[in-house]
Chain A
Amino acid sequence: MTDPAIALIDKPAIRAEGIRKRYGELEVLKGVDLIVAAGQFTAIMGKSGSGKSTLLGIIAGLEQPDAGHVLVMGQKLAGMSDRDMADVRRRSIGIVFQGFSLIPSLTALDNVLLPTFFAAQMTAVEYRRRAMDLLNQVGLGARLNYRPSALSGGEQQRVAIARALINSPSVLLADEPTGNLDQATGAAVLDVLIDLGRTHGTSLLMVTHDSDVAARADHVVEMKDGRISHAHA
């Protein structure tokens, strides 16, 4: 039997190596190496402006690094076509932002279904059933046909979580998903996110300012001055 820890290192969900990024004069990332183990919850902490969001964007393939490369489930993002990149984002990555990420014209159910419009792993009926299932799991079984404007901030984030999970991604990325929510609501949303991440066997990489949240993570990564200053389990 192989040591599970070694297996995790061998097959990480995300491997970022030597990531550098500058915006004009400002060098935001100065060579970041990061490994996110499959199926685990990794929290990124750090002061405002330390480059957490920038790193997450690069991992999601939504931002180009100046140097270094990212592998998501062993696939190297650099040099991918728009189409292949979209494929990776659809199949392997689920992403949750701070807020206001739902399409205002669509119902909760349709918002969850958005990432499946060009996917063909299941039939339309199966996708629908799965979307309803997920909305049930985030506690919105009774709000399927509500538009975002009729949902509270916490409910909107739950919809976003369900949407991020619809294609059973290997990795969930979250950039301060509760940053816009009050303490109690935020905690409830986090419970949903962390629990669902675990039940679906999804690795979770979350940027957070909240050390209580970080305390629940398998790994915590600290960013400082464009580098990872500290990582601990």
Chain B
Amino acid sequence: MDILRYALSELGFRRGRSLVTVTSVALAVLAAMILTALADSYARAIRVPIETVGADVVVQLQGDIPPKLEGLVFPHPNALIPAGIVRQIHALPGVIALTRAVYLWDLEPARYESVLGIEDSDAGLAGLDGRLVDGKAINSKSRAVLIDSDFATKNHINVGDTIKVGHETFPVAGIVDAARSGKIVRADVYTPLAVAQALATVAPEVRALYPFGSDDANLVLVKVNREQLQDVVGKITTLLGKKGVVSSELSMREALSGVLFLSQSMGLIVAASIGLFAAAFVWRATASSVAERRREMAVLQAIGWTWRQIRRQVLIENVALAIAGTAAGLILAFVIAAVLGHISVTIDLPWDLSSTPHFIPQAAIDRTQTITAPVSISWPMATLTAAGGILISVLAALAVLALPQPRPWALLRSE
């Protein structure tokens, strides 16, 4: 207790030095926290486009442009994915779930609509259940379809109406607001997988290019164990060969490298260098204080303190400063994160994640997407940075105190 009181008196007495040390530790902690929080936020933002399709990996094959752009076609440049490859992907270690889909564009002279036939899974029809704004859900056995709410409004379609897809007509079972849901590939019309497969099998412009079988797909959504993402993406890419288009957080990161000036590792590097500067400041402040107090330390030795006890005293002072600085930095970081709220990144969606036929000029589609992600400080990050802040102060103090025990009498004798 006495030792602590002494330490606090000393810190209060040398207010200038205390302030410099506390400030530099606080700034280092603050910078480290905000930079990593920003980097984290960016990292989360780039996951958004891929997450909005409800999968970790979107698998497609690049194909040819149909001879005629009319009726039901595969979205350019999308091709049939052979069933054997789909099975192999499903069997890869790290793959949690796989959803097959058939994605079609129905091109009429005056309008177009996108059609997605998809399996029942969470990334498929089941994912739409909670998004119903009107009518009923559908499942794999239905012969009815769901339509997107924007599309319904634009074309004045209500539940109970019918809609023409290719040459067939389907009742509209429900209207879904998929735009606000995230978690599913956007389309104007959603059908059970079998329905879209049957339509594709007989569509002339599909048949002209591919021998589409009644159980084939042209879009595969894969849920992956996050730790194995890189591995799985690599294996799928190898399976698909040159024409494969494998979209994931990783490909997004590559595509967006221009926007992402702050990668996670960049944040860490900057934070580490700021930490080094702080350590240098603390070291200097400690060194000058120790130099100023050489006589004081000699007095302590003369009245019965051991050198170890004296060093511990200086160390306690530094730890107290480090704790104060770290606490100040943490509080500031939380405040600034709260003030920042979120970051917004505007990105160009690559074609493989865009659900609209971008080659149709009159569609004039805006393929940019603005993504916002919250800037928030995680507790593990805060704990780690706090430990780092205290560690640099202690190490700086230890570096100063590594000096050999001085000969006290030289400072104390009177001439």
List residues of A whose CB falls within 8 A of some B CB. 48, 53-54, 56-57, 60, 62-63, 82-83, 86-87, 89-91, 93, 95, 97-107, 110, 113-119, 124, 163-164, 167, 175-176, 179, 207
Q: Is the CB of B305 within 8 A of A57?
A: no
Contacts of A167 in B (CB 8 A): 304
List residues of B whose CB falls within 8 A of some A CB. 1-3, 5-6, 9-10, 12-14, 295-296, 299-309, 405, 407-409, 412-415
Min CB–CB distance A178 → chain B (angstroms): 11
Contacts A82-B307, A175-B412 known; list 8 others, CB within 8 Å. A62-B302, A83-B308, A86-B301, A102-B299, A105-B13, A114-B303, A117-B309, A118-B306
Q: Is the CB of A104 within 8 A of B295?
A: no
Q: Report the separation of the CA atoms of residues A95 and B6 in the bound assembly, to the nearest whole angstrom.
A: 21
Q: A82-B405, A117-B6 are in contact. Are A90 and B412 (CB under 8 A)?
A: no
Min CB–CB distance A110 → chain B (angstroms): 7
Q: Report the separation of the CA atoms of residues A175 and B415 in the bound assembly, to the nearest whole angstrom.
A: 9
Q: Is the CB of A91 within 8 A of B409?
A: no
Q: Is the CB of A57 within 8 A of B413?
A: yes
Contacts of B299 in A (CB 8 A): 97, 101-103
Q: Report the separation of the CA atoms of residues A93 and B305 in the bound assembly, to the nearest whole angstrom.
A: 12
Q: Tell which of A53, A104, A105, A164 has the most Cβ of chain B within 10 Å.
A: A105
Residue of B nearest to A53 (CB): B413
Q: Report the separation of the CA atoms of residues A205 and B378 in the bound assembly, to the nearest whole angstrom.
A: 64
Min CB–CB distance B70 → chain A (angstroms): 89
Q: Is the CB of B5 within 8 A of A110?
A: yes
Q: A63-B407, A124-B2 are in contact. Are A87 and B413 (CB under 8 A)?
A: no
Q: Report the separation of the CA atoms of residues A62 and B9 in the bound assembly, to the nearest whole angstrom.
A: 27
Q: Is the CB of B304 within 8 A of A87?
A: yes
Task: Give 5 nearest A-B pairs by CB, closest first.
Answer: A90-B304, A105-B13, A98-B414, A57-B409, A62-B409
Min CB–CB distance B8 → chain A (angstroms): 9
Q: Is the CB of B306 within 8 A of A83?
A: yes
Q: Is the CB of B414 within 8 A of A53?
A: yes
Min CB–CB distance B270 → chain A (angstroms): 37
Contacts of A106 in B (CB 8 A): 6, 9
Contacts of A89 in B (CB 8 A): 301-304
Contacts of A98 in B (CB 8 A): 414
Q: Report the separation of the CA atoms of residues A163 and B300 in the bound assembly, to the nearest whole angstrom.
A: 11
Q: Is the CB of B296 within 8 A of A103?
A: yes
Contacts of B9 in A (CB 8 A): 105-107, 110
